[in-house]
Amino acid sequence: MVYNFNAGPSILPKEVFEEVSRGILDFNGTGLSILEIGHRTPLFQGVLDEAIATAKELMKLDADHEVLFLHGGATTQFFQIPMNLVNEGQTAAYLDCGTWGKKAIKEAKLYGHVEVVASSKDKNYTYIPKGYTIPRDAAYFHYTTNNTIEGTEMFAIPETDVPLVADMSSDILSRVTDFNKHALIYAGAQKNIGAAGVTMVVLRKDILGKVNRAMPGMLDYREHIAAGSMLNTPPVFAIYVCMLTLRWLKNLGGIPAIEAVNTKKADLLYSTLDSLPIFRPTVVKEDRSKMNAVFVMDDPALEKEFQDLCKAEGMYGVKGHRSVGGFRVSLYNALPLSSVEVLTQLMTQFAHKKA
């Protein structure tokens, strides 16, 4: 038995792995592999159409929002967004609440004036800044809903008339939220949506066409919309895995159903951590992420011992990001509650043995 707490690429549903392996050998009874069919065939068009339709349905998107599947990861969105949305000299507002947001800020500076409205850098990004003002003339306001590395999550959508842009790479589809309040949402697929190699972008068309710079076609959202995510060969296999994962989520009862499980997993893990003084969660209570829990021990030797124990018990990924240290446990949609039960039992035994 193995338990996969990896941060990304990460666990996907077993049913998806089974269907994908069938599709590699014989896609839908065609005798062909999903890896050897043309992207402009009706066979693949069906996969892409279902992925887009299911994403729209799960997120309850209105008719103004488009869904794209693009290359280049969330990291490409860090520059593609300002390139498409902010003119030179114009302001883009950013919230600085973690490693990924910081990278997005750096890239945006290549295209416009960046105003950082608030930062939690003063306390190593262990909380979400609150009570800041977003300049009304900003082209957009960018924030990260879940800070994958630091383990904070922003549950409230900022109140503003400025178009909202959100990096939802690590908590998209994990909890109910009003996706329609956003002008643009992006998410690398490899955490909650599917396989690495594709990024889902949800955007409202009316925000486009307002900048006056020339850009390559591959970076112009309007061209991708016009081409239906097929401006060039799309990442066929990655989109196939996304489609199956979205279908799995829909059959499960959609986002409200998975949110109930995700809440149980997070509650169990954090209540265990809070009850065992040997472990210390690093994030303030109200901002703790339900997707990535970060905690430390005060004794590095004990940390090493617990990490080794987890490995010996078949647990993968119980380790902090190299920039933070300690531990990080990822609890994405596909992780079953039973994995958290096994981990928390191990934590309790370990703490009692060391007490």
Ligand X SMILES: *Cc1c(COP(=O)(O)O)cnc(C)c1O
Strand-by-strand arrangement of the 91-96 sheet: 65-70, 199-204, 184-188, 164-167, 141-144, 91-96, 113-119
The answer to whether residue 248 is catalytic is no
* Residues that contact ligand X, how many (by CB under 6 A): 12
Q: Which of 56, 96, 100, 287 is catalytic?
A: 100
The answer to whether residue 167 is catalytic is yes
d(CA 99, CA 52): 29
The answer to whether residue 100 is catalytic is yes
188 binds ligand X (CB under 6 A): yes
Binding-residue pattern over the window 216 to 255 for ligand X, x denoting contact by CB under 6 A: ----------------------------------------
Q: Which of 56, 96, 191, 319 is catalytic?
A: 191
Stretch that binds ligand X, among 50-58, 73-81, 209-217, 330-338 (CB under 6 A): 73-81
Contacting residue, 3, 94, 100, 237, with ligand X by CB under 6 A: 100
74 binds ligand X (CB under 6 A): yes
Structure-token pair, residue 241: 């895995």
Q: Which is nearer to ligand X, 129 or 188 (CB)?
A: 188
Stretch that binds ligand X, among 120-128, 166-174, 227-235, 249-257 (CB under 6 A): 166-174
- Cβ(3)–Cβ(330) below 8 Å: no
d(CA 335, CA 262): 9
Burial-class residue 160 by CB neighbours within 10 Å (0-12, 13-18, 19+). Answer: middle
- Cβ(92)–Cβ(108) below 8 Å: yes
Single-letter code of the amino acid located at 13? P
SS3 of 70-136? ECCHHHHHHHHHHHHHCCCCCEEEEEECCHHHHHHHHHHCCCCEEEEEEECHHHCCCCCCCCCCCCC
144 binds ligand X (CB under 6 A): yes
Stretch that binds ligand X, among 26-34, 68-76, 208-216, 228-236 (CB under 6 A): 68-76
d(CA 197, CA 9): 10
Stretch that binds ligand X, among 156-164, 167-175, 297-305, 316-324 (CB under 6 A): 167-175
Q: Which of 167, 171, 220, 287 is catalytic?
A: 167
8 binds ligand X (CB under 6 A): yes
Q: Which is nearer to ligand X, 157 or 309 (CB)?
A: 157
Binding site for ligand X (CB under 6 A): 8, 73-75, 100, 144, 148, 167, 169-170, 188, 191
